[in-house]
């Protein structure tokens, strides 16, 4: 899958499922905004987005540091 497809079909739905619509969209949007750098490749922007999401205090609070790190690795490994 390409980064955009993963973002829209895997990461965003997971955020909404776990954190609810309001907080899920906020965390997801924070990741998207952090990745808005036109000088980076789509894969690099995807990595920044995933890292940002998984380092959010709400994510760490919900999943713990080990859980957030595990989820980050899983999402990063979805890239070809």
**pLDDT tens digits for 34-68?**
999 888 999 999 999 999 999 999 999 999 999 99
Percentage of the chain exceeding pLDDT 90? 92
Q: What is the pTM of this model?
A: 0.93
Q: CA-CA distances (angstroms) from residue 21 to 30, 45, 46, 79? A: 14, 23, 21, 26
| 80 pLDDT above the threshold of 90 | no
């Amino acid at each position: 899958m390409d980064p955009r497809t993963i973002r829209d079909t895997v990461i965003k739905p997971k955020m909404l499922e776990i954190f609810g619509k309001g907080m899920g969209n906020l965390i997801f949007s924070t990741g998207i905004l952090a990745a808005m750098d036109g000088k980076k490749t789509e894969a690099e922007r995807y990595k920044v987005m995933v890292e940002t999401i998984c380092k959010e205090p709400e994510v760490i609070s919900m999943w713990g540091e080990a859980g957030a790190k595990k989820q980050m690795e899983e999402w990063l490994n979805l890239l070809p």
